[in-house]
Structures are given as structure tokens and as C-alpha cells.
Structure 1
Amino acid sequence: MGSKYGTIIMGPAGAGKTTFCSALIQHLRNNKRSCYYINLDPAAEDFVYEPDLDIKELITLEDVMEELHLGPNGGLIYCFEFLLENLDFITDPLEQVGEEYLIIIDMPGQIELYTHVPIVPSLVKALTKGNLNISMCAAYLLESTFIVDRAKFFAGTLSAMSAMLMVELPHVNILSKMDLVKGQVARKELKRYIEPDISLLQDVGDSGLVYEYKDGVDAGQVEEVVAGDAFGRLNRAVGQLIDDFSLVSFLKLDVQDEDSVGAILSYIDDAIQFHEAQEPREPNDDLEVEEHEMG
């Protein structure tokens, strides 16, 4: 049995996971590569590319909330518990997927699934072990607009690190929607977010960001909150934790730029060793073909 390869797309709500999946599928098609698209968000409705496998054919969040009187968070966890009890829904179709395919799994935006409860780790183990034995990489998206609020950015970074430790997969972290912050932050300043620099939490007043506060929100009040002693100590403790582990760095993603999407894909391919398993060619293969054509 040949190897199988895949990536699981995670991250908080609004990070652009489904948009990234669509851009990734389009890039693969443009480069004549095959993919198998799985939607595991039981509340998702609109897709640029229809999934090859959709959890809504098994269970939907709307039905669960209506029948069991659960809220969206509890309903989503129930949907995944139900999926784990009916794993053949996802494992049986994947047994037919060949090694030339990239399996793309689009996840919902409830970060508790990746950071608090062992549901996604259980799903990952089912896919990466046993008969399927999928070589898989996790891609965790964080919206780039988080860099406007440094405390929020480091909280997002901490959630990414938590997901890395919980899921236990080769991992790429991605700052999505880079087009939204274009021109708002200097390139030199951006590097401090790509490789999170905890000193960012110590010089809030000299941020280098160009940010227009919304009506009714006073910049002075925001700075006062950020500079609060208790809040500041909490932020520094979180930053120090991230710095001590040195696990999190980010790739930049602009889904409108095909080169940007291609660069992310190359990191995913490296993490799952996709190209190493493709049909090898001997150094003299091309020469033999040329000689055959000339003869």
C-alpha cells in the first residue's frame, strides 16, 4: 500500500481557513496536481469548490442544536464526538485516495477543538495510524490584523503553540490576510511578528503601526489598559512562555498572490515529505529518452 499525504487546516473563526483551502485547491489545479477536499465544519455552507467529502452528509450543527437544545459550541463538540463514533464515514473513502493526491481537511473555527479537548488529536491519530497511515501536516492560521493589538497577537500565538502540542503533527503557522495590513506596518517591524519578539510587549508606545481607531474608542484609553500593571505582567508572562519554547514562527499568506500560496504549499510538502515519495528518476533517464528519440 502506498503512502497518503494530507494537511489539516486549523485556526480561530474568521482566520480565512476555507478561503485558504480554495486558493490551495486552485493552485494545485493550476500545477496539475490532484487533491481530495474534506469539509469537517458541520456549519459551513458556501464553498468555491464543492468538497469531495462533507461532514454535513453525516451530521449538521443546525440539526444538533435544534434536536438536542445545545448551543453552537456544545453542538460542535457533539458533532465531532459523533464523527469519532462513525469514523468509517471518513476512513472508508480515504482508503481509495492515491499517493498522488493532497488530502485537504478544512476544520471549524472553534479553537477549543485544538487546544482544550482531545477530539482533534483522536481524529488525527485515526488518520495517521493504522491502515490509512497518512503523512499529515497541520496548518494553523492566525489573522494578520491581530498584530494591531499586540496582546491579542500573543494570545493567538499561544493558541497556535497549544495546538502544536495537542495535535502532535508537523506544523506550519500562517499569518493570513496579509493584504489587509499592507502599508500599515513597516517591513522591519513585521519581522518581529513573523518570529514573535516578546519585546513587542514592552514598547507599545513605539509600535510603528499605522492604525485608525474606531469611533468611540479613545487611543489614550487603549494605551492605559495595555499599560496596566496586572495586564502588562500577564502579557509578559505569556510572551516569556512563547519565547522559552521558541516553537512558533509564522509564514505570510496573501491568497490573492499565487506565489504566496505556492510558498505555503512548499512548506507543507516539505513537512509531509510529499515529493520524496513520488516516482524517482535515475540521473540517466532523460539521456536514455533523448537517445531513443534520436534512434
Structure 2
Amino acid sequence: MSRVGILALGPAGVGKSTFCNSIISHMQSIGRRAHIVNLDPAAEATEYEFTIDIRDLISLQDVMEEMDLGPNGGLIYCFEFLLNNLDWLDEEIGDYNDEYLIFDCPGQIELYTHVPVLPTIVKHLQQSLNFNLCATYLLEAPFIVDNSKFFSGALSAMSAMILLELPHINILSKIDLIKDEYSKKQLKKFLNPDPLLLSNEDEEFNPKFSRLNKLIANLVDDFGMVQFLPLDCAKESTTISTILSYIDDVTQWSESQEPKEPAAEELDEEDVDYD
């Protein structure tokens, strides 16, 4: 039976850990089990403890102190060390077969846009451990509500999608932080926007770059990477339920579940003695 995993991706500070905790909380409320696999050697557990923690293998703080490296160089060293010790990850994952594993990834997007670290881990999970994976890419709603920033975020999401070669879901986090009515109206057009219209809106402000804007808009439009699902912490159960249903679909979670034996009370009528 194949396993199911979710990769929580996105820049630092977009709310990946909050998203992971929200999924765990929602799954517990509906009787399903999930575990957080922490792949950030600098992260601390918040609401839910990590079931598997890369810091049990190597921590960023130790690397920075012992190797005299900065945060980015230390992070790359940590992941190179993990790649050389993937048997540790195999052992830790063990027999988690019928439960979700949520991989909380670092916020340094260079690890999957410039350095082939996460793509290598993804292939290992798929080929060696038989995982069905889905990448969720988070962007902050307050950041996105601006045309130029939208294109910046969409291009970074596209880069992750192309390099990881996984089913991909874009999520706008921190919807609840948008308070004013103007921004709320603006937000609606970014959930399922037309990138060509967005590029046209920028022309009068940046005529020098209008052609470049159109080319970027065409690229985003061609890849169909412009749909986002909202994540509202104030309405967590509703938005998380919707996001989880999309993840279930792309990972074929229900199809991978083994059929269960009927309970005793579900016996057919002919098996019940009415005398």
C-alpha cells in the first residue's frame, strides 16, 4: 500500500508550521491520524510535537558553531548531511503506512529552486519508500495583494512545481490579517486571477517594463499556476477541510486505504435471529 505525504513549502514566515498544526488538529477532529516530519534543522515544535525531527540527526545551531558557517551555508550543510544519511530517514519513517506524514520544510526556497536537495529527497520518498506526495506552496495574502508581488510569488511557486515534479496546490495564508475592505476586495481577484489582466493594470505605472510584464503574465497563464486556496486561521476548520479534500484527491488517499471488516452491528438481515 502506498503512503501519503504532504510537503509544506514556501518562503520563511508564511505560516507553514501553523498550517501543519492546523492539518493535524483537523484530522484528529475527524478521526484520522497524521504526523509532522520536521525537515527544518532550525525549527522548534509549537502546538504539536514532531514525530520525526531532523534535529535528532543534525541541528543548524551545532553546524554553525562547529563549522563556523552562516545560516544559509549551515542549512545547506545540514541537508547534504541528510542526503548522505537517508537510511536514518528510512528508519525513522518506519512503518507509518496508513497515516499522513506532513513534511514541514525550511523557508529557504533555494533548497528547491537552486540546490537539488528537496528534489532528491522527493525522489527517494517516491521510489524507495513508495510515497504519494503532494506539494503545498504557501504565500502570504497580505504580501500577494499587489500585482508585482503576485507575479513574484507565482514565479517562485512555479519554480518549485517544475523542479519537484509533484501535484501542486497553492495556498494563500494569513487571510485573516487582511482587515480593510479595499484589500478584501482586491484579494478576491488574486484567488483565481487572470494574469493577463493583472499585467495590463501595471502598464500605466511601468511603461518601460510593460512588455516584460506581459511575457511573465503569459508564462504564468500558460502553466495554469494562478489558482490559490485560502487559509483563514479564524475559520480554520472550514478552509483546512477544503484544502485537505484537494490533497486527498491528488494523492488518491481514499483509494489507497485497505477495506475494513464490517462491524458486528452491520450484519446482514439474514444473519440476524429475530426469534
Q: Is this a same-fold pair by TM over 0.5?
A: yes
Q: Find the counterpart in structure 1 of residue 112 from structure 2.
A: 114
Kept in 1: contact 2:39–2:53 (CA 8 A): yes
Segments of structure 2 that go 5 or more residues without pairing to the other structure are: none
For residues 75 and 231 of structure 1, do their structure 2 counterparts lie closer, same or farther at Cα, with a shift above 3 Å needed? Answer: farther
Distance, in Å, in 1 between the alignment partners of 2:88 and 2:181 is: 45
Deviates more, 1:86-95 or 1:188-197: 188-197
Q: Find the counterpart in structure 2 of residue 172 from structure 1.
A: 169
Q: Percent identity?
A: 51
**Pick from 220, 223, 239: which aligns with 1:260?**
239
For residues 286 and 235 of structure 1, do their structure 2 counterparts lie closer, same or farther at Cα, with a shift above 3 Å needed? Answer: farther
- Does residue 247 in structure 1 map to residue 225 in structure 2? yes
**Displacement of 1:248 after TM fit?**
3.6
Alignment of 1:80-229 (within 5 A): 80-99=79-98, 101-130=99-128, 132-185=129-182, 189-198=186-195, 199-204=197-202, 227-229=205-207
Secondary structure (helix, strand or coil) at the match of 1:256 reads helix
Task: Give the letter aligned to residue 34 of structure 2.
Answer: C
**Displacement of 1:60 after TM fit?**
1.1
Distance, in Å, in 1 between the alignment partners of 2:260 and 2:45 is: 42
Task: Give the letter aligned to residue 153 of structure 1.
Answer: F
**Displacement of 1:188 after TM fit?**
6.5
Q: Find the counterpart in structure 2 of residue 276 from structure 1.
A: 255
Distance, in Å, in 2 between the alignment partners of 1:282 and 1:56 is: 40
Secondary structure (helix, strand or coil) at the match of 1:80 reads helix
Distance, in Å, in 1 between the alignment partners of 2:149 and 2:26 is: 31
- Does residue 236 in structure 1 map to residue 214 in structure 2? yes
Secondary structure (helix, strand or coil) at the match of 1:8 reads strand
- Does residue 77 in structure 1 map to residue 76 in structure 2? yes
Deviates more, 1:41-50 or 1:179-188: 179-188
Deviates more, 1:66-75 or 1:24-33: 66-75
Distance, in Å, in 2 between the alignment partners of 1:190 and 1:133 is: 38
For residues 37 and 230 of structure 1, do their structure 2 counterparts lie closer, same or farther at Cα, with a shift above 3 Å needed? Answer: same
Give the TM-score normalised by structure 1.
Answer: 0.84
Task: Give the letter aligned to residue 257 of structure 2.
Answer: Q
For residues 166 and 294 of structure 1, do their structure 2 counterparts lie closer, same or farther at Cα, with a shift above 3 Å needed? Answer: farther
Deviations 1:157-179 (A, max 9, x none): 11001100000111111111111
Task: Give the letter aligned to residue 40 of structure 2.
Answer: D
**Displacement of 1:292 after TM fit?**
4.0
Give the TM-score normalised by structure 2.
Answer: 0.89
Kept in 2: contact 1:192–1:200 (CA 8 A): no
Kept in 2: contact 1:160–1:248 (CA 8 A): no
Task: Give the letter aligned to residue 164 of structure 1.
Answer: M
Aligned residues: 271
